[in-house]
Amino acid sequence: MKKKVLIISGGISKERTVSLETGKQVAKELKKNGYSIRVCEPDQKLTFHTKNFKPQVIFNALHGQFGEDGYIQSILETLKIPYTHSGVISSAKAMDKEISKKIFLKNKILTPKFFSYSFDKHNKKLTNLIEKKLSFPVVIKPINEGSSLNVFICSKANILKKLKLLKNYKRILIEQFIPGREIQAAIIGKRKLGAIELKPRRQFYDYQAKYNSKAKTEHIIPVNLSKKKYQELMNITLKTHKLMGCRGVTRSDFKFHKGKFYLLEINTQPGMTKLSLVPEISAYNGISFFSLIKLILKDASINK
């Protein structure tokens, strides 16, 4: 009997387009390999699809808010069907950049200095506060977005102008800018999958650099690190994955500067599109796209 997999993609976040592409690629690969597939949106028909289709596992292909912050995971728990990627609590912790960075620091994982900022404070002396706590340039970003959406590197001259672009968020993160190499590393289950370095032509590896092929970001694999440094990188990545209580696949984003790895964030639902990094890392290490999907499905669970 064909194994039935329900794929949830799309959603209402700003990453809807990426999620649809992830769902499409996963569905195509599973169907090609004999699985029975149904793709649906995370809407009111979700319960109908689960009762009608009776999947053995749910592949969560959502990205961004509602899809990887614990909300959809809470709903999936009630369905009592194993689902992929991290559970409710680990998803919520990882998606909240302030909470996750506090966890990193508590567990002696190096991360850029930061503080959160609420727009209802009307802090007219913000530039003075930044100079006191961090110094310019800084990175400003939403607390709970993914795919580097609305992330800006700011100087003292343009900080107030850029802040206006984030005024619809109640709370944002203001973070020390770390120059250096952009390196990302992945884990599947308890396995160190590997790492990749990125050299974007843009200011940094932002949304356009990630998903627009015209941006022509250079992907470097294997990463040019000593064996000792590479081992250190992968140890931090696995430690973070375990620390956050994650399952399935995760990707951790680092800056490497003056011999030190600065962990920026951990992504509990990295993309599975043609331009995504985790499939590329996997392929380099001898794991096909289909084998990667099977590993993710194998780690599906509930109540974690």
What does the pLDDT read at residue 160? 78
Rounded average pLDDT over 94-99: 93
| Cis upstream peptide for 82 (omega within 30°) | no
Active site residue 271: yes
Which is catalytic among the residues 9, 144, 267, 276?
A: 267
What does the pLDDT read at residue 275? 77
Distance CA 222, CA 66 (A): 34
Rounded average pLDDT over 160-164: 81
Q: Which residue has the higher pLDDT, 5 or 44?
A: 5
Which is catalytic among the residues 9, 90, 100, 147?
A: 147
Distance CA 304, CA 125 (A): 43
Active site residue 251: yes
Pair of tokens at residue 10? 């799309």
Residue 50 pLDDT > 80? yes
Band of pLDDT at residue 207, cut at 50, 70 and 90: very low
What does the pLDDT read at residue 209? 47
Distance CA 18, CA 94 (A): 19
Residue 206 pLDDT > 60? no
Closest C-alpha to 249, from 198, 192, 195:
192
What phi and psi, each to the nearest 5 degrees, are found at residue 101? Answer: -70, -35
CB atoms within 10 A of CB 87: 22
Percentage of the chain surpassing pLDDT 70? 91
Domains recognised in the chain with CATH numbers? 4-85 (3.40.50.20), 114-176 (3.30.1490.20), 179-297 (3.30.470.20)
What does the pLDDT read at residue 128? 84
Single-letter residue type at 247 = R
Percentage of the chain surpassing pLDDT 90? 68
Active site residue 253: yes
Residue 263 makes CB contacts below 8 A (sequence gap 6+) with 104, 109, 110, 111, 236, 240, 252, 253, 254
Which is catalytic among the residues 251, 276, 282, 299?
A: 251
| Cis upstream peptide for 270 (omega within 30°) | no
Which is catalytic among the residues 100, 271, 276, 282?
A: 271
What does the pLDDT read at residue 205? 45
Distance CA 185, CA 249 (A): 11
Band of pLDDT at residue 46, cut at 50, 70 and 90: very high
What phi and psi, each to the nearest 5 degrees, are found at residue 59? Answer: -95, 115
Active site residue 224: no
Closest C-alpha to 166, from 109, 105, 198, 118:
118
User: CA 67, 73, 79 angle in degrees (round to 5)?
Assistant: 125
Q: What is the mean pLDDT of the chain?
A: 89
Band of pLDDT at residue 157, cut at 50, 70 and 90: confident
Active site residue 91: no
Which is catalytic among the residues 71, 211, 230, 262?
A: 211
pLDDT in tens, 1-23: 579 999 999 998 888 999 999 99
Distance CA 155, CA 5 (A): 48
The secondary structure of residue 63, as a DSSP letter, is -
Distance CA 286, CA 196 (A): 15
Tokens 């961004």 found at? 64
What does the pLDDT read at residue 125? 77
Q: Which residue has the higher pLDDT, 118 or 81?
A: 81
SS3 of the chain: helix, strand, coil, percent, to 5: 40, 25, 40
Active site residue 11: no
Which is catalytic among the residues 144, 253, 276, 299?
A: 253
Burial profile 144-171: b = 16 or more Cβ within 10 angstroms, e = fewer: bbbbbbbbbbbeeeebeebbeebeebeb
pLDDT in tens, 227-250: 999 999 999 999 999 999 999 999
Which is catalytic among the residues 9, 15, 70, 86?
A: 15
Q: Which residue has the higher pLDDT, 264 or 150?
A: 264
What does the pLDDT read at residue 146? 59
pLDDT in tens, 253-270: 999 999 999 999 999 999
What does the pLDDT read at residue 211? 46
